[in-house]
Amino acid sequence: MALSGVEIFKLLPKTNCKKCGHPTCLAFAMKLAQRQATLDLCPDVSEDAKKILGEASAPPVRPITFGTGDKAVKMGEETVLFRHDKKFVNPCVLAIEIKDTLSESDITKKIEEVLSSELDRVGQKLRVDAIALTNASGDKGKFEAAAKIISSKAPNVPVILSTTDTASAEAAVKIFTGKRPIVFGANSGNAEAMANIAKAEKAILGVTANSLDELSALTEKIKSLGVEDMVIDSGAKKAKDIIGNNTLIRRAAIKKNFKALGYPVINFAQRDDSLHEALIAAVGIAKYASIIVLSSIEKWKNLALFTLRQNIYTDPQVPMQVEQKIYKLGEPTQESPLMITTNFSLTYFIVSGEIENSKVPSRLAVMDCEGLSVLTAWAAGKFTASKIAAFIKESGIENEVKHRELIIPGYVAILSGSIEEKLEGWKITVGPREANGLPAFLKGRAA
Ligand code: SF4
């Protein structure tokens, strides 16, 4: 059961020492109750209280790592129903189905599509994360053979082994020993045997049912058999049912702390029509799916789903940022122009893109303004003449360029005089207000 703020407060030291970063123990207790703080921030909490509070403050959706190594993905750990309340934590895993009825060359082709699916968007690497091998043949030998191909050609990609046949599951999961696969297909008819297979191989168990009541009864039974890590499928296939069931599952976990449904959710979006499939997958991404299984990879579909996923799983309270440094665009010489902007990702990518469009090799000084855009950072006192001057002095750029000219965004033209005062020997030039004015501006200077 979730504890109220007052109940939590009773278990805290009540010294109001502020070490947790909150003014009082009560304020901290309230934050804990809202899952906006973690217990480890209080260094003085007793072991007894830790035990009680640790259980109560565990994330309502169980955190599970799927796969191992650098391609492992985290699932669950969610604490809110709405992204604006805090943030969604672990982006949903996109998996591509491979049926064991395919020929070896077709299986290999799909594996290669998964391996080459990665793209870079606003500084993040996005890709299809996993392979879902389906025992469509119903034949243990074919399932095992397909599993071996996947294991040899994509040894680091997390794998879902989908079958309700326990002998097939047991044979295939052994191929991925130590790699934390998901064995999907535990149902009311095979729960015990599947639980034993998952337990023996330390695999994650995928549990499927035709209703939420059946699903919660199954997870409780499987947990009592010693399997803690599960992903759950409510049987929903249509968009309406995916929204309905995923929402009920998340609400039960978050609002009621109902542990029997406190697991990452898997949805199956496969459709013959790719556009239809993309829409079903988008519904799952928007509404709480932790894994979505797709039937095919097309670059347009990847771009749409990756972008949606990235946007939904970006922390709304933390603007996306790039690293503070002097970026080289093209191959700048000691005479090349030097511009400055803030470290808001979108600003950086738009400005650097326009500089690249100009084909004028340049340097772009990107200053840490906590991810704020130029005007907002200026208004917040983070992009000021003295801070810009200090950044330029400390950046070491004076050793890289012969000139002493800094081009500032047109929106902060007002700063030019004061920067010149603070940055002795430098000339400040006001650039265009909008980034799309940069190509003409730079080409005009180079002419
Ligand atoms: Fe209270 Fe612990 Fe925070 Fe100190 S660190 S104010 S004891 S909750």
What Å distances lie between residue 21 and 24, 50, 57, 126, CA to CA?
9, 18, 18, 35
Strands 291-294, 124-126: pairing kind: unpaired
pLDDT along the chain (447 residues), means of 10: 82 93 92 81 90 78 95 94 88 97 97 94 88 97 98 97 98 97 97 97 97 97 96 96 98 92 97 96 97 94 94 84 93 96 93 95 96 94 96 94 96 96 95 95 86
Give the per-residue pLDDT at 1: 52
Please indicate whether residue 438, judged by its CB atom, sits closer than 6 Å to ligand 1.
no
Please indicate whether residue 53, judged by its CB atom, sits closer than 6 Å to ligand 1.
no
Please indicate whether residue 17, judged by its CB atom, sits closer than 6 Å to ligand 1.
yes
Give the per-residue pLDDT at 84: 84
Please indicate whether residue 5, judged by its CB atom, sits closer than 6 Å to ligand 1.
no
Of all protein residues, the one whose alpha carbon is nearest to atom 8 of ligand 1 is 25
Q: Which long-range contacts (CB under 8 A, 24 or more apart) does 10-19 make?
A: 11/45, 11/46, 11/49, 11/52, 11/53, 12/42, 12/45, 12/49, 13/42, 13/44, 13/45, 13/46, 15/44, 17/44, 19/43, 19/44
Give the per-residue pLDDT at 19: 93
The three-state (H, E, C) secondary structure of the chain, written as one string: CCCCHHHHHHHCCCCCCCCCCCCCHHHHHHHHHCCCCCHHHCCCCCHHHHHHHHHHHCCCCCCEEECCHHHCEEECCCCCCCHHHCCCCCCCEEEEEEECCCCHHHHHHHHHHHHCCCEEECCEEECCCEEEEECCCCCHHHHHHHHHHHHHHCCCCCEEEECCCHHHHHHHHHHHCCCCCEEEEECCCCHHHHHHHHHHHCCEEEEECCCHHHHHHHHHHHHHCCCCCEEEECCCCCHHHHHHHHHHHHHHHHHCCCHHHCCCEEEECCCCCHHHHHHHHHHHHHCCCCEEEECCCCHHHHHHHHHHHHHHCCCCCCCCECCCEEEEECCCCCCCCEEEEECEHHHHHHHHHHHHHHCCCEEEEEECCCCCCHHHHHHCCCCCHHHHHHHHHHHCHHHCCCCCEEEECHHHHHHHHHHHHHCCCCEEEECCCCHHHHHHHHHHHHC
Question: What is the whole-number distance in angstroms between the Cα of residue 19 and the centre of ligand 1?
Answer: 6
Give the per-residue pLDDT at 198: 97
Domains and CATH numbers, the chain: 5-57 (1.10.15.40), 64-312 (3.20.20.20), 325-446 (3.40.50.11600)
Give the per-residue pLDDT at 43: 93
Q: In this structure, which amino acid lies at residue 361?
A: P
In angstroms, the CA 229 to CA 203 distance is: 8
Give the per-residue pLDDT at 320: 80
Of all protein residues, the one whose alpha carbon is nearest to atom 3 of ligand 1 is 20
Please indicate whether residue 443, judged by its CB atom, sits closer than 6 Å to ligand 1.
no
